[in-house]
Amino acid sequence: MPPDSPRSPNSGSLTRPRSPVSRLLQKPVCTLQEYERLRHDRRCLFVALDCEFISDVHWDAEPDPAKVFASQAPTEVGLAFAHEPFLTSAVTTAHPRIEPSLGSFCHDFHVEALSIKVEEPYREKLQQIAQNPPVGERGRGKLREQFRFGESEFVPVKQVEARVCQVVNQYRDRTPGDKVVLVGYALDADFNAMRQGFPALADLCDSFLDLSTIIRSSIFTEAAVIEPPGLRSLLKLFGYPQDDYGLSESTYHNAGNDAVKTLTLLNDLAQPSHVETLRLRQQIPRDILLVDDVKLDDVKNVAFVRPADGLLLPTALDNVLKLAILALPYRPQAVGTHKQLKKLPSSADKIHVLRGWVRFGSAEDMKAFVEAKDHMMCESRELRIAPRGAPASHTRKAAASLDARRSQEATDASFPLGNGSNDEDDLVLGGLFQ
């Protein structure tokens, strides 16, 4: 007997048929292995969904999650889908130091996105924003995110379901494949909106994939010291520019943009380097500040990390997460990297330099870190770890030998200032620890 039959096979009593959303909830994709299998199935189409909601929550205090969840009238429905398969995503051809972007992802995979503004509740939300200006650091009000990847359209409440299903059906008709996988991040509220506003979408989907579930089940362990990062934190963690992850979490999100971000991050999870990044991130407490490309000046208890041979930091220590893991037993407060373009001696050529630094809460912690790790070997290379003002003789030796290696290592070499001075003196901090 089919599972949706009104009569139970074990008793003669009538049972209530399951709703389309309830049936879809029985078909989750829960692990990276399952996603990998679907990604290589050319019949599978990934449709990203995000919803935004009306909320009467006062943002001058911590919101009540139950109250937020109960505010389930969707003001906006965002959809995104790619017309090129993700089959090439696991092997990136881009240079690892080239910054990714949502725009390049949309271009490469021919992404189509739509922001459907549900006319009546959306206008009600705008009125609510006008009546409740931002209050405090959590204030939300005048800041609204613009849709960057397509055009928005206003749709009356009664026509939202038909429009959503029409868009998904058109995508399926134009793209080879017949198995639709619904994708989102923390989909509980989105499923609640689907139940009330457009349940027929669930009947068009063969399964669903929640990115937060995939990360929690396949990457984060029970020993993780933080929860899985949200969309904004994931984009920042994977190296996307600020324009892509946004200036502030307090900005009202755009559902279409978030759907594009979700689809992008789904593709990113196919890359082993990003999975490794998440495995590292779960070990680092949130109270340790992690920053990229920040210059330092007159900051106490800072140890600088640089290679003794004048090359870039080895791959095992070439980002803030890896440096933080190295320093974790010594109670670091902040970990960062510093990138520079340096001029080669007797040449107009310039090369990129990448170094690291760790700030501690006390001189004792910094001293313990330096004594334990200075002169350590990493990938058969010696590292120099020293506090500010330490002798820089090893950098002068590196400078003297660099020209001899230029033809072979010019793109990877790290070169200190030509005058042989302690080049950390020229680093400037913009009030990070003030």
Report the alpha-carbon distance of residue 344 to residue 346 in Å, rounded.
Answer: 6
Report the alpha-carbon distance of residue 190 to residue 195 in Å, rounded.
Answer: 9
What mean pLDDT do residues 264-278 have?
92
Q: Which amino acid is at 56?
A: D
The reported pTM is 0.76
Report the alpha-carbon distance of residue 376 to residue 370 in Å, rounded.
Answer: 10
Indicate the helix (H) or strand (E) that contains 55: none
* Model confidence pLDDT, tens digit, residues 202-250: 999 999 999 999 999 999 988 888 888 999 899 988 989 888 887 655 5
Burial class (CB in 10 A: 0-12, 13-18, 19+), 302: buried
Q: Which pLDDT score is estimated for 14? A: 54
Q: Which amino acid is at 403?
A: D
* Model confidence pLDDT, tens digit, residues 158-198: 999 999 999 999 999 988 778 999 999 999 989 999 998 89
Beta-sheet pairing, 350-360 with 381-387: unpaired
| Mean pLDDT for all residues in the chain | 77
Q: Which amino acid is at 190?
A: D
3-state secondary structure of 93: coil
Alpha helices in 93-230 (DSSP H): 102-108, 119-131, 160-174, 188-197, 200-203, 211-218
For the chain, how far is it from start to end, CA to CA, in angstroms?
Answer: 69
Beta pairing partners, 337: 356
At residue 56 the predicted structure's pLDDT band, cuts being 50, 70 and 90, is: very low
Of 149-153, 172-176, 189-193, 413-417, the range with the lowest mean pLDDT is 413-417
pLDDT of 1 > 60? The answer is no
Indicate the helix (H) or strand (E) that contains 14: none
Report yes or no: 391 and 399 within 8 Å, Cβ to Cβ: no
Report the alpha-carbon distance of residue 113 to residue 81 in Å, rounded.
Answer: 7
The pLDDT > 90 percentage for the chain reads 39
